[in-house]
């Protein structure tokens, strides 16, 4: 009786390919069921950066940067408010006019609602801008953030 032997290299190659396939399936299932973990920065005293600190949420979307900023504009959940987080001044008055990420730069323009009276206080615009920057810089494709409000790049000064 003659037995055929499969070369060791071929056997190992098949095992590694199968292991990689299985690992890929586990990763895809984990993303589908658990979503992507993101940070959203809100007002919190004392905060890490001019009284803002992150909350962590899970999202399921093909556009995580946009989803993170939309969550920032909506404000903290009731549970996050119980933990001392609060929305950013005037954030509820804005919508995303445009958001583009290219060559490591995220460019976002917010559009204010008609009749918006402006930011309350001196630090609110800088706090809003910093929260947007930190929220967007968590994504590997973003190294720098350019924020404008109604087309004004210097709205915080």
Residue of 110, 143, 102 whose CA lies nearest to 128: 110
| Alpha-carbon 138 to chain mean position | 6
Q: What are phi and psi of 36, to 5 degrees?
A: -95, 135
pLDDT computed for residue 16 by the predictor: 36
Predicted confidence (pLDDT) at residue 127 exceeds the cutoff of 80: yes
Please give the Cα distance from 30 to 62 (Å, whole number).
15
Alpha-carbon dihedral sign for residues 105, 86, 115, 118: negative
Across all residues in the chain, what is the average pLDDT?
83
64-75: per-residue pLDDT in tens? 999 999 999 999
118 with 34: CB under 8 angstroms?
A: no
108 with 98: CB under 8 angstroms?
A: yes
111-126: per-residue pLDDT in tens? 999 999 999 988 999 9
């Amino acid at each position: 009786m003659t037995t055929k032997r499969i070369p060791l290299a071929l056997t190992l190659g098949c095992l590694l390919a199968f292991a990689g396939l299985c690992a890929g399936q586990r990763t895809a299932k984990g993303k589908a069921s658990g979503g992507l973990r993101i940070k959203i920065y809100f007002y919190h005293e004392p905060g890490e950066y001019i009284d803002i600190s992150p909350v962590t949420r899970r999202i399921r979307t093909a556009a995580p940067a946009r989803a993170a900023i939309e969550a920032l504009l909506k404000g903290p959940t009731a549970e996050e408010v119980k933990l001392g987080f609060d929305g950013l001044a005037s954030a509820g008055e804005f919508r995303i006019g445009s958001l583009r990420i290219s060559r490591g730069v995220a460019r976002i323009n917010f559009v204010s609602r008609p009749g918006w009276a402006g930011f309350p206080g001196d630090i609110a615009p800088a706090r809003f801008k910093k929260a947007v920057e930190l929220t967007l810089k968590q994504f590997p494709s973003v190294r720098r953030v350019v924020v404008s409000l109604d087309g004004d790049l210097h709205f915080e000064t």
